[in-house]
Amino acid sequence: MPIDQHPDPRATPLRRLLAQREGLAPEMVLVGNGAVDLIYQLVTAFVRPGDTVLTLAPTFGEYAAAATMMGANVIAHQTRAEQGFQPDLDQLIEQVQQSRPRICFLCNPNNPTGVYLPRDSIAALLNACPKTLLVLDEAFVNFAADPWPARELLPAGNLAILRSLTKDYALTALRAGYVLAPPLVIDALAKVQPPWSVNALAQAAALVALEDEQHLVTSMVALAQARTSLVRQLVTRGLHPLDSAVHFFLLPVPSANAWAQQLRQHGIIVRDGTSFGLPMHIRIAPRHAEANARLVHQLAAQLSLKPT
């Protein structure tokens, strides 16, 4: 592959392959430098100073960061641990109808809670708020046990779906993601997307990765099995991981910061939930059996040191 030439400015071969796999026209697909890059392009294209942008809470922080960059008023629909971090759909619809946000960002499955909203909930929100662009971030959808095809809701006209090749195929350092949306939304995004935003290495790697569908299936099955085993081990040690539709999950702890720092001293990295507004939760994702056993051992040791 030549690296002394510019890459395809719109990642045309990759775009066509993704469109074919999704059963959509290429005009409904745009490839970006990872899903986060596309989040910033969405707010650049559609949000103006003073507009309202709505998110869930807790959720991925880049939605609010991108909207704030554009001078938007960011509001949140707060979900709570005692309700399993499930949004109240009626209240969410009412909040959207009253605040009339330019964009509503929904991470589905949600990061960090792992909550996965069903098709009926998303369809109801789309129908109730036709003038709001609903951005459904499906970066983790392939990690769900029984994903539903959100692309079937695209005819509503006010839906954009974000996907991440970075997470599906472990292309983290290369950065590759895409958005599925009506042609008018794609055209607006293309106008603000810098040329050559997806480098040639990322385009080539994504094309090769997409050819190996079985690897993705095998990886997701292995992750699900590792998660089940890890959760079982944690429960037997007296810990209480929360339900999640995906491989990662939240674990309640007395102090997320203290526990994360203690684990780091043993070479174990977990996500401190403080930045999500969850100072008493850490987010955990399974790895291989040996690493999981080390994690369980250290968490159990921390639990034994907890003041009674």
Reported confidence tier of residue 112, pLDDT bands at 50, 70, 90: very high
CA angle at 162 for the pair 157 and 167, rounded to the nearest 5°: 165
DSSP state of 258: H
| Residue 5: predicted pLDDT | 76
Of 6 and 101, the structure prediction assigns the larger pLDDT to 101
Give the residues across from 105 on adjacent strands.
55, 135
Could you report the per-residue pLDDT of 117-162, keeping only the tens digit for each? 999 999 999 999 999 999 999 999 999 989 999 999 999 999 999 9
What's the pLDDT score for residue 307?
46
Look at residues 105, 128, 127 and name the one whose alpha carbon lies nearest to residue 57.
Answer: 105
At 36, list the tokens. Answer: 């986060």
Who's near 268: CB < 8 A, 6+ residues apart? 291, 294, 295, 298
Q: What is the pLDDT of residue 1?
A: 65
Q: What share of the chain has pLDDT > 90, as a percent?
A: 81
Name the band, by pLDDT with cuts 50, 70 and 90, for residue 306. low
* Residue 173, φ and ψ in degrees, nearest 5: -75, -20
- Give the pLDDT mean for 49-69: 98
Describe the strand order of the beta sheet including 271-272 as a list of residue ranges: 249-252, 281-284, 271-272
The pLDDT of residue 170: 77
Sign of the alpha-carbon torsion through 96, 100, 101, 103: positive
Angle (deg, nearest 10), helices 89-99 and 119-128: 20
Strand partners, 134: 104, 159
Residues facing residue 180 across a β-bridge? 29, 161
Whole-number average pLDDT of the chain: 94
Residues 110, 86 contacting (CB under 8 angstroms): no
Establish how many alpha carbons lie within 13 A of residue 64's alpha carbon, considering only the half-sphere containing its beta carbon.
13
Kindly indicate the confidence band of residue 304, based on its pLDDT and cuts at 50, 70 and 90: confident
Give the pLDDT confidence of 180-238 residue by residue, as tens digits: 999 999 999 999 999 889 889 888 889 988 888 888 889 899 999 999 999 999 999 99
Mean pLDDT along residues 251-275: 96
pLDDT for 181 = 98
| Eight-class DSSP state of 271 | E
Are the CB atoms for 168 and 138 separated by under 8 Å? Answer: no
**What pLDDT does residue 167 have?**
82
**pLDDT confidence of residue 19:** 96
Residues near 157 by beta carbon (within 8 Å), at least 6 away in sequence: 130, 182
Domains, the chain, ranges and CATH? 12-211 (3.40.640.10), 214-305 (3.90.1150.10)
pLDDT at 6: 79
Confidence at 64, pLDDT banded by 50, 70, 90? very high
Q: Answer for the pair 140, 152: CB distance below 8 angstroms, yes or no.
A: no
Rounded distance, CA 90 to CA 104, Å?
15
**159 forms bridges with which residues in the sheet?**
134
Q: What are phi and psi of 284, to 5 degrees?
A: -125, 140
Tell me: pLDDT of 308 over 90. no
pTM of the model: 0.94
SS3 content of the chain, % helix, strand, coil (to 5): 50, 15, 35
Residue 286's SS3 state is coil
Confidence of residue 8 (pLDDT cuts 50, 70, 90): confident
